[in-house]
Structure 1
C-alpha cells in the first residue's frame, strides 16, 4: 500500500515520487507519443540511427525520458524489439547513472562556450563499453550564441560513435543552423483519456482507491503533461493518506471549484446579476480556491458549452457526467454563440494577466462585471450581447420616458424630475410616406443615425447601404459576405428590431415608412443592384443634394 512507502519501504529506501517511480523504462511504457516511439524503434531495428536528434514539446510530455531510453537502446547488449532489455550490464549502469557513455547536461546552468568546449574535447575519446557515447543536452535553448557556434561543427560531423540528443520546450529560440543538423521530433500534449488511463493503471499497481471522477479531473488539470498529472495525484494522495481519494477531496487539495458553482455563476452572469456574481466570487476566494485555477476551469466550462452548441453529437467530446451534461444542455438554450465567445475572450485575457498579478481577486471581479455589463466594452461581440439585452427588454415592453418639465406629483406639488414608466407608446395611424419623402429621409440618413439615442441600432444601420426602391421603400442593403454586415442584416430582419426602426422613422418623419432589408449575395457592385439615394438624385434630378433636418 501507499502508506507503507511514505516513510521507508521494505528495503529501507526513502519514498520516491510517483513520476520518478513510474518513469517509463522501455518504449512500450511511453504513452501518447506513438508517432515518435514507432519511428525510433524502426531506426534501431534497421540500424539507421541518426547522429543528432532534437526533441521538442511542452513540459512533462516525455522528452528526457525518451532520450534516456534511446541512450540505453543504442548501447543495449540484448535489445527486445528495439527497446532496451534493462537487464544487461550496460542498461544497469546507465540506469544507475554510473555509465561514462551517457552524459546528461543541463544547458540552463552550463550554457557557456567553455562548457561546450569540454564536450568537444571528450568527443575525441571512444566509449569505454557499448557502441555509442550519447550526450543529452536538456533545455538546449538556454545556450549562449557562442556556445551554439562552438557546438555547430561537432554537431554536423561528429565521430561515428557519438550521438547528440537535444531537448527543449522553446524550439523557436534555437538557431536554424542547429535545427538543420538534427532530426526533429515534436512531442504532443498527451490527451486527457491517455493520462486518465495511465493514472488508473498506476493506482491499481499501488493498491490505492481513487474515484474515477477524481482521476478525470486530475488528468484534465495536468494540461497534457503526464509528469504534472503524477505530481498532482501524489499531492492529493499525501493529503488523504490511507483514505479513498474522492472528487471533492481533490478539489479541496488543488484549490479547485465544483462544476455546480460554475453553472450557478454562469446563470447569474447571463441574468446580468452583478450582485450575485460578485457574492459568488467572494465565497470562492474565502474558501481558499486558487484564483488562477478557477479562471482556467471556468473557461474550460464555457468551452464545453460552446462545443455543445456548435454541432450535433458533441457529447462524446466533452467527457463529462450525465448530470453536468443536462446542465450544459439547459444553459445552451440560454446564451447565444457570439455572447459565449465574448465570455471566453474576456476570461482568456484575464488568464494571461492574473498569473503574476498581486490583486487577483480585483481582476476577477472586474472581468465578471464586464461579463454582466457589455455596455462597458466597444468590441463587436459585446455589441451582440447588448443587442440581445435590448431584445429582451423589447419583449417586456419599451420604457417610455416622460419629457422633462414640471408636472404635478401625487401630492399636488410641482416636480422637475423625469420619471420612466414601463408602458408601450400607443401606436398612431400615420399617413404613408410618399417616395419623395423616403428619398429625403435617405438623403439625411447620416444625420438621422448620429442623432439616435439607441447606439446599438445606429451601429447596425450604419453598416448598410441606404437605397430607395421603385416602389418607394427604404432599402437597407448588406453585403452577406462580410461577417459583421451579415450579422447586422440578420438582426435587422427580426420583427422586434424592425418594429423599433419603424417607430424611430415614424417619430422622425411623422409618416409611416416602409422598410425592406436585402442582402447583396453575388457581390455585384452596389450601383448595379440598387440605386443609392445620393446617386439617385444626381442621376435622375440633376441637382445638388442638400441634407435636411427633420
Structure 2
C-alpha cells in the first residue's frame, strides 16, 4: 500500500525538523540537562510540525541512549514508538474525545507507571476542541500529575484554551515555515524518490503551501500523480487549478489600461481551461498583494520569494500603477470574492466586477484635473435638477467631486416649508455626494449602499429598500458599524441627524396594497397619508 509523502518523510529526530530552530534548541537542551517539564502547549497553524515535534520529544525523553538530546532511533523504546505500538506514548484526538468522561478515563489511566520507558507521554491533539467540563476535569491532573507523566497539548487555536490550562504549561509557538526552507526540503525529498522537480515548480508549491510543510508534501504527492517523473511549473498550475502568473499579469495590465474586452478574454480563457472564478479572484488578490508589497515595503524582493522573471514583470507593472489604485482594486475584488460564495453564476459576477473596475478607472482618468461643478443655489427647479443629474453622472463615472456642506445646506433650505419630509428631501438632494463620501471610506460599504433604493419614511428616518434577492445586502447594512458610518456621513454633508432603516421590497408591499384599496374606495376624494 502506498504511503503518503508527508507520512513517509515525517521527521524522526530533532535534526530533521524544518523551520523551528528555536523550539528544537529549547527541547533538546531540556533533554540534555534533564529539565523536563510536566506539561507543554504547542501552538501554530496547520502543518508546521506540532505533532511531529511532540512525538520526537516523547522518544527523546524515553530514549535509552540519547545523542546530544536527540533520540537514537535504534533502542527498543525508540523503535516501539516509531512503530506506534508503545504503551508509553498515548496520542489522543480531542476533536472526537472531548467529553468529561474521556478526561475522567485519562485521569484514571495516569495512575499507572510507564511500562518500559522513564515517562508516559500523553499527546492531546487539537486540545481547544475539549468542552469546558473536560477542561475543568483535566485541570487538577495537569497541575499536579505524577512524576512520570508528561502532557503535550497541541492546538491551532490557542485563544480557545482556557488561561487556567495554558498558564500551567510551557508554551511554544510554531511559526510558518519559510518558503526557501520548504523548497530545499521538497528538492531533497524529490531526489530521494527519483522525481525531477524543477526549481520554479518547487517554489510555486512552497508558496501555495503557505508555510505548512505537510501541505507542501501533499501538493507534491498530487503533482507526482498528475505528472509522473518530471514536474514543471505548468504541471503544478494544471494539477492545482491555479491561474498562471502570466495570465494574472495580463489581467492586471488590462485593468490598468482600462481594456475591458481583453479582461473578459482572459477570464473566459482561464474559465474554459477549468479555472474556478473564485480561485481566479483569490489568485488575483494574491498578486495584487505582492504589488502592494513592492510599492510600500523596502527590500521587497527578499521578502516576497518570487522567481526573478516574475519579479521583473511585477516591477514593470507596479511602476505603472498607483498605490491608491491597487488598494481600490483589492477592496473591490475582496467584495467580489464574498459575493462569489453565494452566487449561482460566479463567472458573470467576476466579469461584471472587472468591467466596473475598467469603467471606473477609465472615467477617473478622464476626470483628472477637471473639477465637476456642484449645483449652486438657484431659484429655478430645472437648474437644480440639472445640477443633481450632472453630479450623478460624475459619480457613476468614478470622479469624486468636492462637496461643501454649505452648498448642501443651501439646497436643503430651498426645499420649502410645504415639504412633508424635509430630512428625506435634503438627503435625496445630497445622495450622490453621500454615496461619493461613503465610497472614499469603504468600497465594500458603497457596494452595499448602492444596491438599495432611497425611500421616504419619516422626518427622522431614511428608508433603504432592497429587492427580494438583496437580503444579504440588507443584512450587511443593518450592522451597527455600517449604519454608523452612513449616518455620520449624512450628518457631515447635510448637518441632519438622520437614521437609516433597511427593508426588503416585500415589506413595503402590504402598505402599498392597503393604500391602493383605500384610494379605490374613496375615488375622487383627496386623501392625505400621515406617516409616523
TM value normalised by structure 1: 0.66
Equivalent residue number for residue 64 of structure 2: 77
Which residue does the alignment assign to 1:34? Answer: 21
Q: CA separation of 1:255/1:175 partners in 2, compared to 1, >3 Å: closer, same or farther?
A: same
- Taking a change above 3 Å as real, the CA distance of residues 248 and 162 of structure 1, as seen in their structure-2 partners, is same
For 1:99, the equivalent position in structure 2 comes to 86
Alignment CA distance shift 1:311-1:76 (3 Å): closer
Superposed CA offset, 1:268-289 (max 9, x none): 2122333332232122111112
Q: Secondary structure of 1:15's partner? A: coil
- State whether structure 2 residue 155 is matched by structure 1 residue 178: no
Compared CA separation, residues 282 and 176, structure 1 to 2 (3 A): same
Alpha carbons of structure 1 residues 198 and 157: separation in structure 2 relative to 1, 3 Å: same
Q: How much does 1:330 deviate?
A: 2.3
**How far apart in 1 are the matches of 2:233 and 2:399?**
48
Is the 8 Å Cα contact of residues 367 and 399 (structure 2) preserved in structure 1? Answer: no
SS in 1 for 2:173: strand
Partner of 1:272: 258
Residue 360 in structure 1 maps to residue 337 in structure 2: no
User: Aligned-pair distance for 1:161?
Assistant: 0.6
* Shift of residue 294, structure 1, vs aligned partner: 2.5
1:320 corresponds to which of 276, 297, 306: 306
Match among 368, 371, 375 for residue 391 of structure 1: 368
Instruction: Determine the structure 1 residue equivalent to 2:237.
Output: 251
Match of 1:149 in 2: 136
Give how far 1:112 is off: 1.0
User: Structure 1 residues 282, 114: CA separation in 2 closer, same or farther (over 3 Å shift)?
Assistant: same
The aligned counterpart of 2:174 is 187
Between the aligned partners of 1:186 and 1:369, the Cα distance in structure 2 is 44
- Residue 344 of structure 1 is matched in structure 2 by 330
Cα contact 2:179–2:305 (8 A) shared by 1: no
Unaligned runs of 5+ in 2: 378-383, 408-436, 442-532
Whether 1:52 and 2:39 are equivalent positions in the alignment is: yes
Compared CA separation, residues 251 and 342, structure 1 to 2 (3 A): same
Partner SS, residue 196 of structure 2: coil
Checking the alignment, whether the CA contact within 8 Å between 1:56 and 1:185 is kept in structure 2 is yes
CA distance in 2: counterparts of 1:315 and 1:464, whole angstroms: 49
Alignment deviations for residues 462-485 of structure 1 (CA, whole Å, 9 cap, x no partner): 4999xxxxxxxxxxxxxxxxxx9x
Question: Quick check: 1:104–1:135 contact (8 Å CA) kept in 2?
Answer: yes
Change (3 A) 1:463 1:185: farther
Deviations 1:433-456 (A, max 9, x none): xxxxxxx9xxxxxx9xx8673457
Shift of the 356–167 alpha-carbon distance from structure 1 to 2, 3 Å rule, reads farther
**Offset at 1:356?**
7.4
Aligned match for 1:88, one of 51, 75, 94: 75
Q: CA deviation at 1:461?
A: 5.4
Deviation at 1:241, TM superposition (A): 1.9
Correspondence for 2:284 among 298, 303, 310: 298
**2:138 and 2:191 mapped to 1: Cα distance?**
46
SS in 2 for 1:100: coil
Match of 1:539 in 2: none
Within a 5 Å distance, the mapping from 1:277-288 to structure 2 comes to 277-288=263-274
- The Cα of 1:27 is off from its aligned counterpart by 0.9
Task: Report the CA distance between 1:352 and its aligned residue.
Answer: 5.2
Give the structure with the larger helix fraction. Answer: 2
1:181, CA displacement in angstroms?
A: 1.4
Number of aligned residue pairs: give it.
396
Structure 2 counterpart SS, 1:151 = helix
Q: How many angstroms apart in 2 are the aligned matches of 1:109 and 1:340?
A: 45
Cα displacement string for residues 212-247 of structure 1 (whole angstroms, at most 9, x for unaligned residues): 1111101111111100000000100111223x1111
Q: Is 2:5–2:218's contact at 8 Å kept on the other side of the alignment?
A: yes
Once the two structures are superposed, what CA deviation does each residue of 1:523-546 show, in whole Å capped at 9, x if it has no partner? xxxxxxxxxxxxxxxxxxxxxxxx
The answer as to whether partners of 1:104 and 1:136 remain within 8 angstroms in 2 is yes
| TM-score w.r.t. length of structure 2 | 0.69
Structure-2 separation of matches of 1:198 and 1:282: 37
